[in-house]
Amino acid sequence: MAFTYKPLWKLLIDKEMTKKALMQEVGISKSTMDKMGRSEEVSLSIINKICRYFDCKVEDVIAYVNKEASK
């Protein structure tokens, strides 16, 4: 996967919010949160919900990681 959700995890820490609280507030299922924890793809509608909730930009939630450049 070429994306990471580390910006989201940092945002949660900054907001003193748990992943469980985010799931409840935004309406994200546990399986979707698990996917994000494994840096797997989730739909843009999920990213949209998170961005709308925090009133933030996409890059505040996900970041692109060029795995080829890091080899």
- Find the CATH number of the domain harbouring 51: 1.10.260.40
Q: Is residue 71 situated within a structural domain? A: no
Largest CA distance in the chain: 38
Domain tally, the chain: 1
pLDDT value at 68 more than 80: no
Q: Is residue 70 situated within a structural domain? A: no
Q: Is residue 44 situated within a structural domain? A: yes
Q: Is 36 exposed, middle or buried (0-12, 13-18, 19+ CB in 10 A)?
A: buried
Instruction: Look at residue 16 in the predicted model and tell me its pLDDT.
Output: 97
HEC letters along the chain: CCEECHHHHHHHHHCCCCHHHHHHHHCCCHHHHHHHHCCCCCCHHHHHHHHHHHCCCHHHCCEECCCCCCC
Render pLDDT for 18-46 as a digit per residue (tens, 0 to 9): 999 999 999 999 999 999 999 999 999 99
Q: Is residue 36 situated within a structural domain? A: yes
Q: Is residue 54 situated within a structural domain? A: yes
